[in-house]
Amino acid sequence: CTSLTEAPQLHATTLAKSCYSEMFYGCTNLTEAPQLSATTLAESCYSSMFYGCTSLTEAPELPARTLTNYCYSYMFQGCSKLNYITMLAIDISAKNCLSNWVSGVALSGTFVKNVNMTTSTSGTSGIPKGWTIQNYSA
């Protein structure tokens, strides 16, 4: 998929275990991510989905309010130009749901979060260090 620049739309609203895991892994020319409509997640559903997508600058909006075990783990690892993420989750207490999900993203950027989100750490398994945090307004 190294020549893929734009991803096809993904319309599923309820996901099964590992369903989109590694889907765009290593798509180094991907500049436009698909809209992710799912509000009901399953274990590992988006794990490593955009891993190594070095041309991606903006993440798709992540509308799910409750995260599941490993659901976003490694999702954007190595996306070195990624500098904008909107995550609307409130409950981020699931096991390793954000494990290394933003390791290797841009050093500065904007993280838009749900105002009611439970406390998150900063760093590779939370909100990227050095990023501006904004509250989501619909």
Whether the CB-CB separation of 81 and 107 falls below 8 Å is answered with no
Nearest to 10 by CA among 47, 46, 56, 53: 46
CA–CA distances in Å: residue 42 to residues 8, 66, 87, 101: 21, 10, 16, 16
pLDDT tens digits, 105-128:
999 999 999 999 987 788 999 999
Phi, psi values for residue 134, rounded to 5°: -125, 150
User: What does pLDDT average to over the chain?
Assistant: 94
Burial zone of 119 (CB within 10 Å; 0-12 exposed, 13-18 middle, 19+ buried): exposed
pLDDT tens digits, 128-138:
999 999 999 86
Look at residue 121 in the predicted model and tell me its pLDDT: 83
pTM, two decimals, is 0.94
Nearest to 30 by CA among 108, 99, 82: 82
Separation CA 34–CA 10 (nearest Å): 6
Whether the CB-CB separation of 84 and 76 falls below 8 Å is answered with no
Separation CA 58–CA 35 (nearest Å): 11
93 contacts: CB under 8 Å, gap ≥ 6: 67, 118
